[in-house]
Structure 1
Amino acid sequence: MDIIQIVPRLPPAIDGLGDYALNLARQLHNDFNLKTHFAIGDAAWTGNTQIEDFLINSVTERSATALLSLLPSESATILLHYVGYGYAKRGCPTWLIEGLERWKRNTPNSHLITMFHEVYASGKLPWTSSFWLSDWQKKLAARLSQISDRCLTSNQNYAEVLYQLNQGKHTRIPILPVFSNVGEPKQVPRLTERSRRLVVFGSPSIRKRAYRQSLKELSQVCRLFDIQEIFDIGAPTGLVLSSIQGIPIIETGKLSAPEISEILLNSFAGFFDYYLEYLAKSGIFAAYCAHGMLTVSPRVYASLQDGIEPGKHYWFLSDRITEITDFVEAQAIASHAYTWYQSHNLSVQAQNFFTHGLGNVCTKIG
């Protein structure tokens, strides 16, 4: 049985969403014999026409007609990985929605499963494009949810928005926090067995934010946990990084998933400066959790969100912390985060995608 996964980009492009889709394709094939054909939604993407056993086709331009040329005219199952900015510069991929609407009309027995990795932007500053385009992004997301046979998302906030947008069509929207794109070790060492190393991992913009907005907190964390070195993992930030409070920063640049996994598995802590109410959609947080690290945030989000509890699943700085912290507590947090992650790891996610959409529809058309 075959499915089509639509994604903005795949490797060699550095794109977390592409890595997510490729890892999911591998697991679906291994566990359920579902073979993926990829349709790329970025006309500028360059890469091979095949990765492993998965065939790849790319749109020649961002238009409904170009998209339809990649999709079968007979019954099929599509899994769309949706984030507006992945398919259009301003986050309004009208061409994508129109193409899928036409495809659904022309192939009435086909099925569209949409994973909303994002729904729409909500900019509050009038000089940003998201401020002016938010309503149009919302309308496109509503249209997409209406034509989708099943909707899934990565966090509770997005699910609540989708319930409002779909006007009662979808009464149950499964929530699947993202998995680690850089491996899932079956066994992880305790913190006391690891190098006293802290990792800052992610896209250049996310790492820049950590250094620019949370440098004070990052310095405190290094002091409290007696960190001896900082590994900066990812494409160059453009910042001049050498050391923090005398602690050397090693810029690794871009690394392969196995190389990143090896570093994380022997590192004490992972630092992230992310929007805590959306932590379940962070591949960085997922990677830290999957490798049994102490996950560290410069701030705290007061309420429980997606099963993530501050002080239980991630460590945060507070005014009361002035001395070396309790390493028993640190290990407990790392262990809780690792356990939380196992409830939605890659194997569990493949099962969920199969159960909540792909299995039923593929059985009908297979």
Structure 2
Amino acid sequence: MEIIQLVPHPMDSATGISDYALRLAERLLQAHQIRSHFVVYEKQFYGRKSTYKSEDFTETALADSTPEAIFSLFSKRSIGGIIFHYNFRGEHEPSRTAYWLVSALKLVRQQYSFKLIVMFHELPLTFNVRRFTLPHPHHILAARSLVKMADAIFTNSTKFQKTLSKWTSKPIPRLLNISTLGEPEEVPTLTAREPRLVVLGTIYSRPQIYQEFTNELLMSCQMLGIKEIYDVGAPFELNFPNAEGIRVVQLGVQSREAISELLLTSLAGFLDYSAYPGELSKSSIFAAHCTHGVIPILSKYNPAEADGINMNQHYVVAGESLKNMNLEALQTVSNNAQKWYRSHSIAENTKIFATRLLS
């Protein structure tokens, strides 16, 4: 079976959604003989020549914002399904991309028969103009139309699930996020790891950790006997106090394999999701920490119990609370996090997609 995965960004851009789509495609092909063709739908990439290189998958960008751009995909190959990675965000000006794309898919479905699966990674319903928050009409119409049209609807957010469920009686399973950094077969215990802490994230999120949670980060290092902080990602000017015995190493952008190996050999990782209460299960970085057995240290408590994630059971909070946790207690946290992740691993999530595609 051959399918299209509609993705917002080129596959070699190493964004969270492109990595997610690739891991899904690899498993669909390996375990279910379903081959993916990636199609980039964001307007800024229209007509872009692909630089993505793969022996198993191909990539093209939409030519323009017309129904013909979607129809042309079906004229070249026999398509049995589409997985639409819905990842539009609230912008300062309403975007029409989501609306025209959904309208085009509706026209294509009148001529071609295929399974349509929508994965809502994001669900923007408003946008900001100066100090005002206004409804996002094109996104609201697009999302509601997709919910009615789709054969299957998934999301990784409790909040999105509640909103989408208001628009349909169809079941909307919540698929907790996967580790886009792979899933190691063997995970060393904490005693076999280096006294090192890892900071992963974007060029926007990582500086915030050093600026807003300096004391929590340093205190966590001191309590765990951390000697090095390895910062991974696009480089930036780091202004961080020289703490005695703690060295910060900026590694820059690294390959997926290198980051995986770093997580496997490090004691802890520091994450900040204070701006996303209850959304911890949406994070592929948190998922990667769990499956690699590294201790997830959060800047603050995150109310993610609805997704089976509990403080001091699957993660710890930076600062004073670490005083009461010895190595045995931390190993229990690591073990619990690994067990939590296994229930929604790449293999488990892919089975759900494959079942809907092949049914």
- Asked whether the two chains share a fold, i.e. TM above 0.5, the reply is yes
Q: Are 1:78 and 2:79 an aligned pair?
A: no
Amino acid of the structure 2 residue aligned with 1:67: I
Paired position in structure 2 for 1:363: none
Amino acid of the structure 2 residue aligned with 1:153: T
Distance in 2 (alpha carbons) for counterparts of 1:244 and 1:106: 65
Distance in 1 (alpha carbons) for counterparts of 2:223 and 2:79: 59
Shift of 1:133: 4.6
What is the correspondence of 1:287-302 to structure 2 with a 5 Å cutoff? Answer: 287-302=288-303
Distance in 1 (alpha carbons) for counterparts of 2:118 and 2:315: 30
Amino acid of the structure 2 residue aligned with 1:290: T
Shift of 1:85: 3.3
Paired position in structure 1 for 2:109: 104
Shift of 1:121: 5.1
CA contact (8 A) 2:213 2:299 kept: yes
Structure 1: gaps spanning 5 or more residues: 361-366
Superposed CA deviations along residues 87-134 of structure 1, whole A, max 9, x for unmatched, are 998555222222212222332x322110111122556x75378x3354
Distance in 2 (alpha carbons) for counterparts of 1:322 and 1:311: 9
Paired position in structure 2 for 1:210: 209
Name the CA shift for 1:64/1:227 in 2 (closer, same or farther; >3 Å). Answer: farther
Shift of 1:215: 2.2
Shift of 1:243: 5.2
Q: In structure 1, the residue corresponding to 2:134 is in which secondary structure?
A: helix
Paired position in structure 2 for 1:189: 188
Name the CA shift for 1:15/1:88 in 2 (closer, same or farther; >3 Å). Answer: farther
Q: In structure 1, the residue corresponding to 2:278 is in which secondary structure?
A: helix
Paired position in structure 2 for 1:225: 224
Give the length in aligned residue pairs.
Answer: 351
Paired position in structure 1 for 2:71: 68
Shift of 1:322: 7.1
Q: In structure 1, the residue corresponding to 2:218 is in which secondary structure?
A: helix
Shift of 1:339: 0.8
Distance in 2 (alpha carbons) for counterparts of 1:64 and 1:278: 35
Shift of 1:295: 0.5
Q: In structure 2, the residue corresponding to 1:217 is in which secondary structure?
A: helix
Shift of 1:86: 10
Name the CA shift for 1:69/1:300 in 2 (closer, same or farther; >3 Å). Answer: same
CA contact (8 A) 2:198 2:230 kept: yes
Distance in 2 (alpha carbons) for counterparts of 1:241 and 1:70: 49
Paired position in structure 2 for 1:26: 26
Q: In structure 2, the residue corresponding to 1:280 is in which secondary structure?
A: helix
Paired position in structure 1 for 2:314: 313
Superposed CA deviations along residues 293-335 of structure 1, whole A, max 9, x for unmatched, are 101111113461211112211101465x374732211111111
CA contact (8 A) 2:230 2:249 kept: yes
Shift of 1:185: 0.6
What is the correspondence of 1:22-171 to structure 2 with a 5 Å cutoff? Answer: 22-42=22-42, 43-44=44-45, 47-48=50-51, 51-72=54-75, 76-85=80-89, 92=96, 93-107=98-112, 109-120=113-124, 127=130, 131-164=133-166, 166-168=167-169, 170=170
**Which range moved further: 216-225 or 37-46?**
37-46
CA contact (8 A) 2:5 2:82 kept: yes
Structure 2: gaps spanning 5 or more residues: none
Shift of 1:46: 5.1
Paired position in structure 2 for 1:364: none
Amino acid of the structure 1 residue aligned with 2:102: I
CA contact (8 A) 1:242 1:248 kept: no
Shift of 1:181: 1.0
Distance in 2 (alpha carbons) for counterparts of 1:184 and 1:54: 21
CA contact (8 A) 1:270 1:295 kept: yes
Distance in 1 (alpha carbons) for counterparts of 2:293 and 2:79: 43
CA contact (8 A) 2:161 2:174 kept: yes
**Which range moved further: 334-343 or 296-305?**
296-305
Shift of 1:48: 3.0
Superposed CA deviations along residues 138-184 of structure 1, whole A, max 9, x for unmatched, are 332112211111101113222111101x232x1x1121111111111
Amino acid of the structure 1 residue aligned with 2:260: S
Distance in 1 (alpha carbons) for counterparts of 2:322 and 2:304: 24
Amino acid of the structure 2 residue aligned with 1:127: R
Paired position in structure 2 for 1:279: 280
Q: 4+ residue runs of structure 1 moved beyond 4 angstroms?
A: 72-75, 86-92, 241-244
Amino acid of the structure 2 residue aligned with 1:240: L
Distance in 2 (alpha carbons) for counterparts of 1:305 and 1:201: 25
Distance in 1 (alpha carbons) for counterparts of 2:163 and 2:248: 40
Q: In structure 2, the residue corresponding to 1:85 is in which secondary structure?
A: coil
